[in-house]
Structure 1
């Protein structure tokens, strides 16, 4: 349950939920709902969180945990703990230069950051952040020449890994969009007036001018270069014919690690591996695409068994505490990704807020490892958990939302 923490100082936040509360107070409703909302009745959004509560820890006693090491490695490179910042778009809506704030905080925390195709900053700008492990997320657009140019830019910028998102070639039914916008590119008048009640956001984001999409500049029509117009136009340009042939093409085109994000079937994960994918991200797009979909944690152990060792396996969705990371790793994940947790920090306090979010997750993860009696990430295994083979029925999360406001429903 979200806390009603009154302070605006991100350094005093003790949980991601408290950062979320700070973000909600600072952001206009239309922006907070973009950050926080899910598709349709938000069944998937709630399930992503509920499944973590349905997994219990089984600690081992009398193990020496005077020294606990959370470090791990992905694609042959070390990282501070098994966490990466997930690709998210429109981060300039949360804070001015939001992509760079995320990147600098990730570099300082010694973890990777995945940049979205629809980020506000350009590939080259984010990749140039000192010390950053830069990953690039890719949507497949209809324009083949643009795709080739985007890949060339990522290569020249020194991008470490490419992440192909495969669950968004058809846009989800995000009803909060329909509630908030008079047209696909214009917020309702009531929402625009409500935004004026958030002077800090207005000064930081609105008055200097809401940023555009740096990576799309070369293909955007002249009349679609504002944020709303570009966002609507880009949705129409994502290729709905996305198929396995695109993965085959990328594998021949991209020489570095290639990750497929958005799979929810163990058999699809195996097929992606056999097609040359170096990594898999089990994901339902944070509950923003197919409502009623399975949560990644539910099929994690089965997918790890199907893949065996050697393929990097990650999940996202619902990560709010270090204990969530520990459960995912114990069930077979090499790491987790999270978009909302760092973004709550970004919205609440800029780069300092992101740094606080990452520090909280790392500290909590270390503490959980110690309380479980595990001294290294490799020690986290299914025997740390109860009823791993059968997570049991979910609590009732299928209740229709009715007339209740999206902002008042539990996340």
Structure 2
């Protein structure tokens, strides 16, 4: 069992990332940390937040601050939900459940990915909180329909459709590391693993994780030249507006669409009756050079005009980022890598530490800005240069 030394003392998501990096073989860490091509969008997602400046209002009684809000009609203790992330168990066994339990304990929603290393049913048993299921659009429609039926039977409150992955992005770190998904290891990998014996021993003891929701669906990469895009090879590039409307009509609960950047697309989704829209570029892992979601957010919010909730993800690393997103009109943000890094460093304790860091920074930023509730966070908090 790995020692969790350092997790409770981590002061930032950046420190959790470094703890995770020390524990993982380089190729495994790169799979979760990396993005597409030159990783311009990965960096821009973060820099776009840094360019935004807050305009605080002092002389407000902020001795009591309420971080709670309403997400999809129900209370959330923070304006934060856990984004879907693929393959957490390859970083550390049990990470899916650890993150889900941490989210439930914190009183925020958790999204289970189609490509998670825990099944729909297992997460429902182990982490009874607010659960959403994220569906990639598979070529095999019968298999996809079976996943949706299972999510409904397990009482997941919402379905999240990810629409920005008609094909997998060109993730060059994975190509250089000869990483496919599911992972297929070579002698080169074993050399890397030798320098991380605790990770290797854990894999030997528990066995290689399984993409449990995709058991029975062929997803193996066939050659090294396709490794970088193997994540998306089972997904359906023909998925279109008509198919999405059909899914909206057939799914009886709340529906979320993730992967939107263009205001016109958001307008169509709101007209279709989609309950929430996630402004996202997949953490920079799909189309390199795409606009940072925080920059695209105001246009989407204006286009939706209150007909659906608007959330965003990608590049969120600080509680101040959450404030900036809410000030630009987001109802909530989704975090993915942050809780992954926490779980890799210390399972549930680490994932909880990531959420706590966000909560502490969010509270402090709100106090320093002179706002007492999430609902008070408005566009006036963003500095706009009139020059």
TM-score (norm 1): 0.88
CA contact (8 A) 1:263 1:269 kept: yes
Q: What is the CA distance between 1:147 and its match in structure 2?
A: 1.5
Residue 63 (str. 1) matches residue 60 (str. 2)? yes
Residue 41 (str. 1) matches residue 28 (str. 2)? no
2:148 corresponds in structure 1 to 151
5+ residue gaps, structure 2, are: none
Aligned Cα RMSD in Å? 2.1
1:285 corresponds in structure 2 to 282
Alignment coverage as a number of residue pairs: 379
CA contact (8 A) 2:174 2:228 kept: no
1:202 corresponds in structure 2 to 200
- Take 1:334 and 1:204, find their aligned partners in 2: how far apart are those partners? 39
- Take 2:51 and 2:245, find their aligned partners in 1: how far apart are those partners? 38
CA shift digits 1:4-23 (9 cap, x unpaired)? xxx94200100000001100
1:215 corresponds in structure 2 to 213
- Take 2:71 and 2:192, find their aligned partners in 1: how far apart are those partners? 44
Residue 258 (str. 1) matches residue 255 (str. 2)? yes
Match of 1:51, SS state, is helix
Alignment of 1:39-188 (within 5 A): 39-181=36-178, 186-188=184-186
CA contact (8 A) 1:8 1:22 kept: no
- Take 2:217 and 2:285, find their aligned partners in 1: how far apart are those partners? 26
CA contact (8 A) 1:135 1:163 kept: yes
Match of 1:56, SS state, is coil
- Take 2:298 and 2:316, find their aligned partners in 1: how far apart are those partners? 17
Change in Cα spacing, 1:232 to 1:175, as seen in structure 2 (3 Å) is: closer
Matching residue within 230, 234, 237 for 2:234: 237
1:4 corresponds in structure 2 to none
Change in Cα spacing, 1:386 to 1:123, as seen in structure 2 (3 Å) is: same
Match of 2:8, SS state, is helix
Matching residue within 186, 189, 201 for 2:187: 189
Change in Cα spacing, 1:130 to 1:24, as seen in structure 2 (3 Å) is: closer
Change in Cα spacing, 1:34 to 1:61, as seen in structure 2 (3 Å) is: same
CA contact (8 A) 1:258 1:277 kept: yes
5+ residue gaps, structure 1, are: 1-6, 393-411
Match of 2:75, SS state, is strand
CA contact (8 A) 2:35 2:285 kept: yes
Range 266-275 or range 371-380, more displaced = 266-275
1:409 corresponds in structure 2 to none
Change in Cα spacing, 1:280 to 1:14, as seen in structure 2 (3 Å) is: same
CA contact (8 A) 2:323 2:362 kept: yes
CA shift digits 1:231-282 (9 cap, x unpaired)? 9876322111111122111111111111110011011011111122111001
CA contact (8 A) 1:213 1:230 kept: no
Q: What is the CA distance between 1:192 and its match in structure 2?
A: 2.2
- Take 1:187 and 1:249, find their aligned partners in 2: how far apart are those partners? 40
Q: What is the CA distance between 1:230 and its match in structure 2?
A: 12
Residue 22 (str. 1) matches residue 22 (str. 2)? no
Match of 2:199, SS state, is helix
Q: What is the CA distance between 1:115 and its match in structure 2?
A: 0.4
CA contact (8 A) 1:321 1:361 kept: yes
CA shift digits 1:11-55 (9 cap, x unpaired)? 010000000110000000011001111111110000000011111
Match of 1:258, SS state, is strand
Match of 2:126, SS state, is coil
Match of 2:62, SS state, is coil
CA shift digits 1:289-346 (9 cap, x unpaired)? 1010000000111211111114111100011110000100010000000110101101
Match of 1:10, SS state, is coil
Residue 321 (str. 1) matches residue 318 (str. 2)? yes
Change in Cα spacing, 1:231 to 1:58, as seen in structure 2 (3 Å) is: closer
